[in-house]
Amino acid sequence: MKKIVTGIIIAIIPIYTFFTWLIIYNKYPETDQSYRLSKFKDIIFNIPISQTSLSGLNIVLSSLAIYYLLTSVNKNYLSKKIITILIAGLLFFIILYNIWGIL
């Protein structure tokens, strides 16, 4: 259980930034990227970090979270197994999204 909690805590930042971008793209579909980036920085508390660095950080944190989640899977508890696999799947797609963002 300790590894599941650690994996979820590590995964908070990548999941938060991913859903923040989804909200921004849905809320401001007709604006340019610089306006969206300023709104994103407002939402993430004006932390001065470039998008490339943030994507790299998200890739590393998502990979660590997947490792912690998949090493904690217990064969006896089906509900824990399903939850960890769903979160790991979401994190895998977040990794792909961030790699695509870097390219």
- The tens digit of pLDDT for each residue in 7-27 reads 889 999 999 999 999 999 999
Q: Between 41 and 74, where is the model more confident?
A: 41
pLDDT at 76 over 90: no
Residue type, 15: I
Report yes or no: 82 and 96 within 8 Å, Cβ to Cβ.
no
Which residues contact residue 56 at a Cβ distance below 8 angstroms, ignoring those fewer than 6 apart? Answer: 98, 102
Token look-up 């999204």 returns 97
* pLDDT of 29: 87
pTM given for the model: 0.84
CA distances from 30 to 6, 19, 38, 48, 77 (A): 39, 19, 15, 25, 46
The predicted-structure confidence for 19-73, as pLDDT tens digits, reads as follows 999 999 999 888 898 898 888 888 888 888 888 899 999 999 999 999 988 888 7
Tokens 């904690």 locate to 72
Domain residue ranges of the chain, discontinuous segments joined by +: 2-102
| DSSP H or E run through 65 | helix 51-71
pLDDT at 72: 80
Closest to 59 in 3D by CA, of 3, 101, 23: 101
